[in-house]
Structure 1
Amino acid sequence: MRAWYFDNLPGAPGLPHDSPPSNPVTSEALATLNVRCLSIPVEGYEAKINDIARERDYKSRDTIDISRAGLGEAYEAKIKGFFQEHMHEDEEIRYVLSGGGYFDVREAPTDAWIRLALEPGDLLVLPAGIYHRLALDDAESIHLLRLFQNEPKWTAYNRGPDTEVNPERIGYLRSVGVGA
């Protein structure tokens, strides 16, 4: 999985937003944000995903087809919602089965966006409380396996004054050495 600082230039969210020269972000830098990236070949992925689910105590999973065909009339609204900066109160694990897209995560304490390019076989683990968003690449399709600790829940808390004092957000910031 390739990562770089988002260029913040105008343009569609699904463009790479990787200004020349690229400003790459290392896996070590992502680890300081508690963002974990793995590559697992799609063919025969089930055994490795099952191992990860057991290791992290994930009991539930589902798949989502984020595409015009998969979401139908809700596509435009869903795409806008996915790109809205938000956080979750649970760890988010996504494994790319097909297609591609970008997850952007906020670097703490700089508040810069880091863009991660996802393709089939990429597994991304985002900690609870990190601000992030999703954009599809130019193919406008990504099929994801989502893992959950308990029952599937997708509650997104859009960034605002309430999220700044959310216990999960505060806990996340402390875990990366920001805040008291």
Structure 2
Amino acid sequence: MGIEAWYMDSSEEDQRKPHKLSPPRPVSPEQLQALGVFHWKLNADIYETDPELEQIRKSRGYSYMDIITIHKDKLPNYEDKLKMFYEEHLHLDDEIRYILEGRAYFDIRDREDRWIRIAMTTGDLITLPAGIYHRFTLDETNYAKAMRLFVGEPVWKSYNRPADDFQIRQQYVASLQGS
């Protein structure tokens, strides 16, 4: 089964709710790929020894890995971190996340600047391209344990919107013109 994604409503209600349009407007894995977003479904129970994960890491050069648990009892400054993750931003590098336990959402902007919500559950690995505007939140379960992967040294810096003058943003937007 592929990943579930949909266009979001404009409600300001709790960010952890699904925010589906009525009627819903689903987004296909192919539409996500056209925006540079890729997904794999893996067996999170064996993440420490999973040959499929190892193959993805080797083929894409993901040499650094750590694990973050996003829960009020596990993450210092939990509420502040959730607010920060939910600020619309971009990175100068790809963002790679693998959900080991729990559930969360990544929201990304499409070509017309509309929000698409991507539902992440245990076993979902996703890559967001450098330069894409996005944000992250938990769902109503308020819990996710995720692996963070990087090419080389980890880069934690995010640039809140507006960041349209960044070269990486311009390269990302240009890459959409060709697809």
Q: Aligned with 1:175: secondary structure?
A: helix
Q: Which amino acid aligns with 2:92?
A: E
Instruction: Specify the alignment match of 1:86 in structure 2.
Output: 89
2:158 pairs with 156, 159, 178, which one? 156
Find out whether 1:96 has 2:136 as its counterpart: no
Instruction: Specify the alignment match of 2:115 in structure 1.
Output: 113
2:64 pairs with 39, 60, 67, which one? 60
Separation of aligned partners in 2, 1:106 and 1:158:
14
Provide runs of 4+ in structure 1 moved above 6 Å. Answer: none
Separation of aligned partners in 2, 1:9 and 1:155:
28
CA RMSD of aligned residues (A): 1.1
Q: Where do 5+ consecutive residues of structure 2 fail to align?
A: none
Deviation digits for residues 73-123 of structure 1 (CA, Å, limit 9, x no counterpart): x01110000000000000111000001111000112x00000000000001
Aligned residues: 174
Instruction: Specify the alignment match of 2:176 in structure 1.
Output: 176
Q: Percent identity?
A: 40
Separation of aligned partners in 2, 1:176 and 1:19:
25
TM-score when normalising by structure 1: 0.93
TM-score when normalising by structure 2: 0.94
Separation of aligned partners in 1, 2:51 and 2:8:
34
Instruction: Specify the alignment match of 1:33 in structure 2.
Output: 35
- Offset, 1:10: 2.6
